[in-house]
């Protein structure tokens, strides 16, 4: 039986409870991790977590340095850090286990709210998943950073920002617009596709029973790798887009 998301309907809107739970859990984990790392902050004798967090900061600084000019991209360091930590933690969360409740007789409730079962009699609700395995959430992240890059482009680099739509000639305007629209789509869907496919694969391997254990081990390891790479790619592309729009070298 396919797992469906636990959805309640509030004010005519479908609200995905598992998505909200996962957003909150991911955010809390990221925030607690960051807070723990600076708990016993020290200049001369940093703890392990502080060292790790400083490594992450260096890593994101390098990403910014690769994508644009680090001096001018420095203000986006916090954004990059939040993105990479949120996405990485999100990617990892879906891996270790799942939490499923079953509903029969076409009726299930959560905190007194009726869960939406799409008219079916029986359903299995998956409460635990990667927040990044949901297109709504990856698209939200992608659109956020893309909109931010456009705003920053208009604010800091207005002339170049408007000019780039008609470059090299005004004939290219439609192509440039398509490119602009494609950017958030590719950014969000790449992340979603990778993580969602990983989770689908995990459920397929789970269906194999005992035989699937070696495959499961391999796939879990690979998913960790994919999760890390996707977090990196998302952050990298964010910085590249922001760099393209707002931090543009004058000489080209």
Residue ranges in contact with other proteins by CB under 8 A? 5, 7, 13-16, 19-20, 23-24, 27, 30-31, 34-35, 37-38, 41-44, 46, 50, 53-54, 57, 77-79, 81-82, 85-86, 131, 134-137, 139-141, 143-144, 192
Shortest approach of other proteins to residue 13 CB, angstroms?
Answer: 5
Nearer to other proteins, 41 or 213 (CB): 41
CB of 144 to other proteins, least distance (A): 6
**In sequence order, what DSSP letters do the residues of 4-42 get, joined into one string?**
E--EEEETTEEEEHHHHHHHHHHHHHHHHHHHHHTTT--
Residue closer to other proteins by CB (options 56, 247) is 56
- Cα dihedral 142, 144, 149, 153 sign: positive
User: How many other CB atoms are found less than 10 A from the CB of residue 180?
Assistant: 15
Q: Which two tokens stand for residue 195?
A: 């993580």
CB nearer to other proteins: give 135 or 216. Answer: 135
Instruction: State which residue, 93 or 137, has the beta carbon closest to other proteins.
Output: 137
Q: What are phi and psi of 125, to 5 degrees?
A: -95, 130
Handedness of CA 240, 243, 246, 251 (dihedral sign): negative
Least Å distance, CB 172 to other proteins, is 30
Q: Minimal distance in Å, beta carbon 43 to other proteins? A: 5
Q: For the CB of residue 241, give the shortest distance to other proteins in the complex, in Å.
A: 17
- How crowded is residue 36: how many other Cβ atoms within 10 Å of its Cβ? 13
Least Å distance, CB 98 to other proteins, is: 19
Beta-carbon count within 10 A of 66 CB: 13
- State which residue, 57 or 216, has the beta carbon closest to other proteins: 57
CA dihedral 58, 61, 63, 67 (to 10 degrees): -160
Q: Between residues 33 and 215, which has the closer beta carbon with respect to other proteins?
A: 33
């Amino acid at each position: 039986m396919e797992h469906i998301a636990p959805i309640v309907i509030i004010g005519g809107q479908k609200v995905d409870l598992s998505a909200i739970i996962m957003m909150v859990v991911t955010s809390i984990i990221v925030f607690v991790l960051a807070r723990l790392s600076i708990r016993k902050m020290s200049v001369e004798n940093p703890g392990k977590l502080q060292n790790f967090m400083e490594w992450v900061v260096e890593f994101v600084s390098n990403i910014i340095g690769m994508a644009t000019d680090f001096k001018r991209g420095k203000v986006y360091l916090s954004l990059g850090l939040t993105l990479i930590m949120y996405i990485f933690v999100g990617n990892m969360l879906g891996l270790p286990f799942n939490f499923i409740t079953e509903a029969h007789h076409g009726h299930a409730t959560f905190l007194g709210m009726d869960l939406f079962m799409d008219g079916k009699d029986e359903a299995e609700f998956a409460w635990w998943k990667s927040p990044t395995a949901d297109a709504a959430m990856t698209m939200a992240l992608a659109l956020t950073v893309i909109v931010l890059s456009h705003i920053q482009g208009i604010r800091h680099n207005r002339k170049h920002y408007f000019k780039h739509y008609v470059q090299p000639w005004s004939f290219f305007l439609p192509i440039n617009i398509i490119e602009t629209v494609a950017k958030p789509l590719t950014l969000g869907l790449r992340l979603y596709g990778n993580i969602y496919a990983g989770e689908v694969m995990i459920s397929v391997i789970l269906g194999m029973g005992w035989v699937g254990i070696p495959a499961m081990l391999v796939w879990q390891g690979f998913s960790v790798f994919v999760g890390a790479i996707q977090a990196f790619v998302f952050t990298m592309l964010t910085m590249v887009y922001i760099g393209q729009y707002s931090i543009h070298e004058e000489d080209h």
